[in-house]
């Protein structure tokens, strides 16, 4: 597969994983920041390789071969992110773009050794699950911080928004994976929330609470 084909597969995987349905060529074009006509050309190539189910004017989905191939690309990306953070001391907001380049390395042996070297992690630095060598994923029980009620407490286990700006904001507020977050109150006017993180009270917007995943404790 070419780098471009791998990027398309990964995009379709992310779109179908969140929607659990077929996706339109327009949705793929938007995610890939390209024209719908370019997407159509690529989908025909991927369909010929039995990686996607594609019919003109209908939705697109991954075949079983396509799902496994996409999971392997995601696996490489997330393992490289763990390596960059844990072994090379990059911060969690710096690693995505570098991992985008490293995920195209073809050597399966290298990735399996990297996995073992890192202690077979099941989550990346943003809390997203890492598929194993067979494509299996361990699902994490989680919900958005915005869904909690007053006096509930959760442990931060992931982020919905992985942009550098959002991750830097969390760093400034002292919020990281593993942080214990107490939900104190919600403002009915703008849905902003008062929380306590490590004995420090903060007021955060609805946009922030809608992008933080927690596990109830």
- CA-CA distance, 58 to 25, in Å (whole number)? 9
What pLDDT score does 173 carry?
94
What pLDDT score does 198 carry?
86
Is the CATH code 3.20.20.80 the one for domain 3-62? no
Condensed to tens digits (0 to 9), the pLDDT of residues 131-150 reads: 999 999 998 889 999 999 99
Arch. (CATH architecture) of 143-216: Roll (2.30)
- The full set of domain ranges for the chain reads 3-62, 143-216
Q: What is the DSSP annotation of the chain?
A: --HHHHHHHHHHHHHHHHH-S-B-HHHHHHHHTS-HHHHHHHHHHHHHTTSEEE-TTS-EEE-HHHHHHHHHHHHHHHHHHHHHHHTT---TTTHHHHHHHHTT---HHHHHHHHHHTT--SB-TTSPBPP-TTS--PPPP-EEGGG--TT-EEEEEEES---HHHHHHHHHHT--TT-EEEEEEE-TTT--EEEEETTEEEEE-HHHHTTEEEEE-
Say whether pLDDT at 122 is over 90: yes
Condensed to tens digits (0 to 9), the pLDDT of residues 1-57 reads: 999 999 999 999 999 886 777 899 999 999 999 999 999 999 999 999 999 999 888
Read off the pTM: 0.87
What pLDDT score does 26 carry?
93
């Amino acid at each position: 597969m070419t780098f471009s084909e791998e990027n398309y597969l990964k995009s379709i995987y992310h779109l179908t994983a969140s929607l659990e349905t077929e996706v339109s060529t327009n949705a793929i074009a938007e995610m890939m920041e390209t024209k719908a006509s370019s997407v159509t050309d690529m989908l025909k190539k991927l369909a010929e390789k039995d990686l996607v189910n594609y019919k003109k004017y209908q939705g697109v989905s991954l075949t079983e071969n396509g799902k496994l191939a996409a999971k392997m690309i995601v696996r490489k990306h997330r393992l490289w992110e763990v390596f960059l953070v844990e072994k090379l001391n990059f911060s969690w907001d710096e690693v995505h773009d570098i991992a985008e380049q490293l995920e195209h390395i073809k050597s399966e042996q290298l990735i399996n050794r990297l996995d073992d070297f890192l202690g077979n992690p099941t989550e990346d630095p943003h809390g997203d699950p890492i598929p194993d060598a067979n494509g299996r994923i361990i699902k994490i029980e989680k919900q958005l911080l915005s869904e909690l009620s007053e006096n509930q407490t959760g442990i931060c286990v992931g982020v919905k928004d992985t942009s550098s700006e959002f991750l830097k904001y969390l760093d400034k507020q002292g919020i990281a994976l593993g942080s214990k977050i107490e939900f104190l109150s919600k403002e009915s006017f703008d849905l902003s929330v008062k929380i306590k993180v490590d004995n420090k009270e903060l007021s955060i917007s609805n946009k922030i609470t809608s992008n933080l995943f927690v596990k109830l404790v």
